[in-house]
Amino acid sequence: MLSLALVFGGRSAEHEISLASARFVLGALDPERFAVTAVGITRAGAWVVPTDAQTALHDGLESVSCEPAWLLTDPRQPGLQVGTDERFVPLDFVFPVLHGPFGEDGTIQGLLEMAGLPYAGAGVLGSAVGMDKELMKAAFAQSGLPQVDYLVLRDIAGAGDEDVARIEEALGYPVFVKPVNLGSSVGMTKAHDRAELLAAVDLALRFDRKVIVEAHAAGRELECSVLGNEKPRASLPGEIVPANEYYDYEAKYTEGKMAFRIPAPLTADQERRVRELAVQAFTAIDCCGYARCDFFVAEPDGRVLVNEINTIPGMTSMSAFPLLWEASGVSNGELMTRIVELGLQRHERRRKLMTTRLG
């Protein structure tokens, strides 16, 4: 049986979503194959092991008693020290379910690399590029992937007259304004005019030093899941139909605020194009393991545009990633096992690389 640490929570505005995703992952992991230790990271960044994992995942780490925990960074003895007695808990694998900064951005992936532990999902580079929307879109452009026009504002106190003029001339209205390094639509606004744009930039700057402003793509929103390492494959695409004006935080995580059509009503060519672009986007950022890619189908011409990639996508009962694989013939239990297997395979390949020069 594999000893697995399920890491959740974290120093991010997506902390609550991490708990919901971790509940789903814990329920889907095969108890006959995996001995799971739930490891929480508080909002302040402390690592803890809750005495009641289910309650912690439903009601938050603050609702239960927790023991302090430390990840050992000596690859000769991968594991945790837990409690005031610092007892050793050996680990074979880590499944980080951390959305946003300090979890999805390469930081914890780098820590796990130093600790010599195999882990689920993208490596340091793929995670970092996938989290930073500016670098992600640059990688997509370098690979020739079609996407909406955008501008990035960085290290500013707020949008000045020159910034506003540049946005209005290049993109027009409406536009979407987002923190560069955040997901789940946290801090995102659809701005229809100058007043809304200024307020949207101010909001986004509360979450990040960089703000991305994207042109509006009139049309339909699609999602497609990807699974694999060297030879990734894409699921059936699905279409999002939000109850709100756009696919915001409320629509993503509130029952009844969106509909999800699987498979998406597409022509055969459009479906093939979405799945092809999903794999290309996955490869463009050097991703591995699993991810979810988001798309627009522009109207009226039907062009497929890549929006973004999520290297630790939401995994709740409402989330596209598991739903799309389930519709593609992969059950939740099989999906989690496959993600672990891919992480183990990637780790084994890296472990065999030479660390001393020849001669």
Residue 308 known to be catalytic: yes
**Which of 18, 184, 225, 328 does the annotation list as catalytic?**
184
Residue 183 known to be catalytic: no
Q: What are phi and psi of 291, to 5 degrees?
A: -170, 170
> Which ranges of 171-299 does DSSP label H, i.e. alpha helix?
194-204, 249-253, 268-284
Bond prior to 90 in cis (omega within 30° of 0): no
Distance separating alpha carbons of residues 173 and 305, to the nearest angstrom: 19
Distance separating alpha carbons of residues 309 and 287, to the nearest angstrom: 10
**Which of 18, 225, 235, 310 does the annotation list as catalytic?**
310
**Which of 103, 106, 294, 346 does the annotation list as catalytic?**
294
Q: What are phi and psi of 194, to 5 degrees?
A: -65, -40
**Which of 79, 253, 273, 289 does the annotation list as catalytic?**
253
**Which of 220, 275, 292, 346 does the annotation list as catalytic?**
292
Residue 184 known to be catalytic: yes
CA distances from residue 51 to 42, 48, 55, 359 in whole angstroms, order as listed: 14, 9, 9, 52
CA Rg, the chain, in Å?
21
**Which of 130, 187, 314, 343 does the annotation list as catalytic?**
314
Reduced 3-state DSSP string for 50-80: ECCHHHHHHHCHHHCCEEEEEECCCCCCCEE
Residue at 93: amino acid letter: F
**Pair type for strands 238-242 and 258-261:** antiparallel
Q: What are phi and psi of 188, to 5 degrees?
A: -95, 140
**Which of 18, 308, 328, 346 does the annotation list as catalytic?**
308
List residues bridging with 87 in a β-sheet.
82
**Which of 9, 12, 14, 235 does the annotation list as catalytic?**
14
The separation between CA 38 and the C-alpha centre of its own chain, rounded to angstroms, equals 20
Count other Cβ atoms within 10 Å, centred on residue 231: 6
- 108: CB partners within 8 A, 6+ apart: 7, 96, 98, 102
Residue 276 known to be catalytic: no
Residue 253 known to be catalytic: yes
Q: What 8-state DSSP symbol labels residue 231? A: S
Residue 310 known to be catalytic: yes
Distance separating alpha carbons of residues 187 and 62, to the nearest angstrom: 25
Return the active site residues: 14, 184, 253, 292, 294, 308, 310, 314
